[in-house]
Structure 1
Amino acid sequence: MGVLKLEDLIDQIPSLCEEVNIEKTGLIIDGAALYYSLYYTSDPKLDQRCGGDYPGFKDEVCNFFKTLQDCEVTPYVFLDGGLGSGKREHFVSHLKKKLEKAKSVAETELGCSVQKRYRPNVLPPLVRDVFIEILKEKGIEFKQCLGEADPEIFFAANQKQWPVLSIDTDFCIYDVDKGFLHLKHFEWKSKKDGKIPAKLYTRSKFCEHFKLDPALMPVFASIAGNDYSRLEDRGRFARESSSPGEYSIKRLDGMLNFLSKVNLDGLNDSQKRERALSEALNHVGKKENQTFKLAIQKYVQPEKKCFELPTWVSKKVERGELTTFVISVLDQKTMMLPALVEDFSQRSSYTAAYRIRQYFYGLLTGGQICTEYDRDGKEIKDKRVPSILLSSDEQKQLKLQRLHKAPEGLGRRVFEEALQVQTSALENIPDELKLPVCVTVFWFKRLQHHRKSETVHCLHALLLGFVFDQHGPEDEFERKMKALKDEGVNNWQPRVAHAFSQWQCCMRQSLHLNQLLCSPLPEPQCARLYCGPLLHRLADEDTIEELQKTLRGEKKELYDNLKTVCH
């Protein structure tokens, strides 16, 4: 994301940033950067090893937006959409790196010296869904873009004359009028007197320091290296730098120094960029390359990508009522399945939700084959997945163009068919638990061939978690559950982690199928459904028996109803 190592260069030169206090302003927020940052930098650190801590994440997100409100800062959040064209190799490479991180998180003992020295981060699977849920709940203005968010963030920031908050150093390259605030230096937890201390970066100050014509910033970005291009210079620019920094900083400094000396007399901005690129390539013995020109153009004229989507789909995606996975499936017939913390001696957790994804693809593509990227053992591989088509009459009624106008009850029947459940059995289950219970029944059937005792323990852990989620009056059950939650995990079990990882894969895909079918089942509150450390503590026979004895009244009745449905 952004220009390689540019953040390190800026950090090394304090004068490139201005220390400011943020108050009484608007703020354009890079949503993905924010939820990654809030999850990874939380203190105490939110769980990643047990599948995530969504209640803890919700607290962190709510505290962040409450701080903005206290400082009279108006947020407008933008979220990325589908995969950019021509970036598949980049995404596969990214998946491989995430796979290594997920393995590291799974295999590293909590609190050991390795983890303190290097703590890899892996985002739990439902974080984005929970984040969008919170934005809706809090009435925070946001837009889920159909393609990459960067161009829309840039346009909105200059239109509204607000600064951008992100971690993406591409916003150092774009000419953002009111500047760029890096999340790393946005000290919202140190708010004082209604002000948030931060560091503001502006492109003009950067160009002034390096004596660089602003028109050449896109050239610098394209040769320095990003998601699109990188000039292989075999260390030449670094050797020509007088910077005291490490190699990567010397390299950037050498490039900036070189570009500042290119003769640009009498040229317009476009000609300046052409000459500077040509001279930089010649300097290291490379020929003209279309890749660099395309990368430059991305910064000069950022464009929103156009997708041929039914209007109702576009609107629902933008409002966060439909997952952006629909865009990747419709546009490229592709689904990237992000790495998970799981038991790597078993098949990928995504296998559990394979059938649900086949229905998802069938509704979107009318029966075409899709390509999934997921781990096979310890490698990322692509796999061709056939869609599941409905009966011909249903398929006619459920064509994507008019899916939102399908007869009442048809969407529910498709959901039932995909998950092989009967929603009529959910009569005694609260509305907000109907979808999670369907998912749990589907998941439990899938796990029957695994070691039975562990599977049953995981099932009871989930059901007890659902009862706890209902927030009844504080009693012995509530107190014991809270105590277990506070204790954390001291005995992480790969098989238990894997079972819960499979449940989350089924949960996320069912959520997205339900959205596509225009919510035949009520949307659950995902933030309250899963707390990994608590569920790991609960997946133990003695603990389950002890908690079952404390259930009284409505809680016992709900637990019994949940057991009846699931068995």
Structure 2
Amino acid sequence: MGVLGLSSLIYTNNNIFEKIRLHDTRLIIDGSNLYHILYNNHVPNEYGGNYDTYANTCKTFFRTLTKCKVDAYVVMDGGYDPDDRKWKTVLKRKASRIKSVGTICGRSPKETTDHVLPILCEETFYHVLRELQIPHVACPYEANREISVLANKWDCPVLSDDSDFFIFKLENGVIPIKGIDLTLRPLKTQTEQSALQESETSPTDQEDIYISVKCYRYSTLIKTINVPWKFLPILATFSGNDYVDPRNLEGFHEAIRWKHRNKELNLRAASPKLMSVVHWAMGIQSEEYAINYVLNHVENLAPVGKSKLRDALRNSIDSYTDIRNFATIDLVKFFDANTDDESRPDRGTLIDYVTKHPLPAWFSEMLRTCEMATFLQNVAVNHRVIFNCQIEHLANPSTYECSQHIRSVLYGLITQFKRPKYTRYERKTFLTNDIRKFCIEENDRLENEMMKVRIRPTFRNVPGITGEENQKFIFGTLGLNSELVDSLTADPCTKFLIGVLRFWWTHADPKITENYLSSAVIGFISLHSHFFQDMKCSPDVGKTVKLPCLVPSIVKAIEGQGKTRMNQFASEIKKHKDKSTDQASRDNEEITIIHGFSQLQTCYLSALYLNQALMSPVDLPSPGVLFNFTFMFNVCKSLETLQNNDFSDMFPLESPLHDLFKSWKTAVTELEDRPAVDEKVIYQRENMEILRC
């Protein structure tokens, strides 16, 4: 959620924080906050996503905690609340993301601080959690309250940069992520200063070690300004947050702005607006008085609007104060449960809020255990989704358009829809009346503005219960007919990736060239080869509890390539990996290349969702061993300047890797001609009834 201006106030008054040594404790982690920060603060994003680097960053973070005997428990946000309290706020953030994309594409990476989180980060993060066996859970909706309840029940701190946690009554405080120093230090009986001076040498495995962090406690803040704790929820609510439209508070803020402007406080000033709310809230005796005071200063709002505002203010205050019990899922029981069925706690039943049908228990189970993306919950519960704009050419069609067919099949699988029969008159009226009973509402972009696209699901026979039947269903959706599937002797994972590449090759708009395809396949092989190299050079990789899934056909080719030829391949790809790309955000042609690879990401993501909806019959690797789009961009850019490249400099002819490379490209490009753009549009309109508004 977040409180407007509160983080700036807290960090401006750094004396509020306490410096502590973090070790030998449980730690409740706001996972949805962490996975954003780990990418935005450490990994380049201007080329679409370097997921290998991101995965390594996440692993380093969690391994550091483990070395300090910190037991991490990761709690993720779930889907959008069906009550729509935060829907407008979410839409505004997505619109702001589109503007950030325009800024990033219009300038050199060094000239802007804007960030756009790549769309496969969440999936990459989950793979790291599973690989390192970090306990994790996804709450049905926003997780802040559940995190707070769990932290107090377990008597441990929270890790998050969400300013809401500055308000909750957390007995052991909150550790801001930006305040963490991951340098390992030995835990000795000496002063903090002398311990810090030993950072040049790494502690041994036998030593007890810690990391230095800053911890915020609500008690320090209220003691500093001499107010009771009930002051904090009032401050958070009337400063403005996701529950309350800030436009409705403008009259209130104007009324108190001058009244308190000359008052002094034992805090360094941050936002003048926030400081005026601080002074005002210090004199409030009750929550009801505060609500009535604000409503008396609201102009141009009808009685119904004021009633809704009152409810929003009340809900906001309650969301901060009621943290004695879990609201949606008992996380203590979840994390303490054994693996046998009898001991598993009730995950709760989700309801389709449009049709009012309960969703299957297995669906909720997969969502809670993060085996299914919250995107699918938003489809099944709310019948609407919002797409995150990628680094893409805003003058071109959205990168999500090319994968609409996959999603239309997906929507038919996981919703309770029935084909409506309607007259021509009813067809006109159904655009505005109960539209989500018939369609899934996709919030996408048209150029640099938000746009709704409504898609009627494609209804097919539900696949059988066997994994093989579900695999064939996925391959068919991706355009691999039974004859083509049978001709591919490869493993299911390889067939899946070939299907994604083929779908991308067929449906991309603007069309991609063969150089894009070559770069993608080389990228897959490159990251697999890097993983093998890391296994040999890094002792930490060998200590992971669970080795990650890899693509069997690529592994087999690498193992058969031999050391000398793999060294030759590594030498060649290093040229592209180390090549500078500082100019990419200034050139229209180069943005077009990035746009093409962003379309690949949406095809992969939609196919991934389809696989999850069918209970994952295909075992897929992490994006961290598939996608480094800076590398793919560099390879593609280099290929644009070459002619008749047989790739013998990377893969000696008739070597296992060359045969793999050639067979994948042949399966994608040569067995069927690509349809024309007009034919594709007709196909989409007939089968999905895309309705723009």
Q: How does 1:413-432 map to 2 (within 5 A)?
A: 413-422=472-481, 424-425=485-486, 427-429=488-490, 432=493
The question of 1:551 aligning with 2:627 is answered no
Q: Which moves more between the two structures, 199-208 or 489-498?
A: 489-498
Q: Give a deviation string over 1:134-164, Cα, whole Å, max 9, x none.
A: 1101111111222111122112111211101
Q: Which moves more between the two structures, 244-253 or 208-217?
A: 244-253
CA 1:525–1:486: 2 relative to 1, 3 Å = same
Residue 486 of structure 1 is matched in structure 2 by 578
Name the CA distance, whole Å, in 2 between partners of 1:496 and 1:371: 29
Name the CA distance, whole Å, in 2 between partners of 1:320 and 1:197: 30
Residue 300 of structure 1 is matched in structure 2 by 321
The question of 1:203 aligning with 2:273 is answered no
CA 1:340–1:450: 2 relative to 1, 3 Å = closer
* Contact persistence 1:25–1:72 (CA under 8 A): yes
Name the CA distance, whole Å, in 2 between partners of 1:524 and 1:313: 22
The counterpart of 1:212, out of the listed 227, 243, 253, is 227
Q: How does 1:25-424 map to 2 (within 5 A)?
A: 25-42=25-42, 46-84=43-81, 85-86=83-84, 87-111=86-110, 114-115=111-112, 119-189=113-183, 192=199, 194-229=209-244, 230=246, 231-232=249-250, 233-239=252-258, 240-241=260-261, 242=263, 249-262=271-284, 264=285, 272-279=286-293, 282=296, 289-301=310-322, 303-304=327-328, 307-308=350-351, 309-367=359-417, 368-390=438-460, 394-395=461-462, 406-422=465-481, 424=485
Name the CA distance, whole Å, in 2 between partners of 1:521 and 1:59: 24
Q: Percent identity?
A: 25
SS of residue paired to 1:75: strand
Q: Which moves more between the two structures, 120-129 or 464-473?
A: 464-473
Q: Give a deviation string over 1:273-303, Cα, whole Å, max 9, x none.
A: 2234334555788978222112112222253
SS of residue paired to 2:109: coil
Amino acid at match of 2:328: K
CA 1:551–1:463: 2 relative to 1, 3 Å = same
Q: Give a deviation string over 1:399-434, Cα, whole Å, max 9, x none.
A: xxxxxx824433223212321114725744455433
Name the CA distance, whole Å, in 2 between partners of 1:248 and 1:373: 35
Residue 618 of structure 2 is matched in structure 1 by 521
Following superposition, the deviation at residue 304 of structure 1 comes to 2.8
TM-score, length-normalised on structure 1?
A: 0.89
Residue 332 of structure 2 is matched in structure 1 by none
* Contact persistence 1:420–1:442 (CA under 8 A): yes
Q: Give a deviation string over 1:340-381, Cα, whole Å, max 9, x none.
A: 110111100000110011011111114441100000121101
SS of residue paired to 1:76: strand
Residue 18 of structure 2 is matched in structure 1 by 18
Q: Give a deviation string over 1:524-550, Cα, whole Å, max 9, x none.
A: 232111111110111124569274433
Name the CA distance, whole Å, in 1 between partners of 2:11 and 2:296: 30
CA 1:450–1:334: 2 relative to 1, 3 Å = closer
Following superposition, the deviation at residue 521 of structure 1 comes to 2.1
Amino acid at match of 2:220: K
Q: Give a deviation string over 1:71-104, Cα, whole Å, max 9, x none.
A: 1111100111101231221111111101101111
CA 1:503–1:246: 2 relative to 1, 3 Å = farther
TM-score, length-normalised on structure 2?
A: 0.73
Name the CA distance, whole Å, in 2 between partners of 1:348 and 1:371: 15
SS of residue paired to 2:116: coil
Name the CA distance, whole Å, in 1 between partners of 2:268 and 2:254: 12
Tell me the C-alpha RMSD between the 2 structures: 2.4
SS of residue paired to 1:487: coil
Residue 631 of structure 2 is matched in structure 1 by 534
SS of residue paired to 2:230: helix
SS of residue paired to 2:75: strand
Amino acid at match of 2:92: S
SS of residue paired to 2:513: helix
CA 1:371–1:33: 2 relative to 1, 3 Å = same
Residue 401 of structure 1 is matched in structure 2 by none
Name the CA distance, whole Å, in 2 between partners of 1:252 and 1:54: 38
Amino acid at match of 1:463: V
SS of residue paired to 2:471: helix
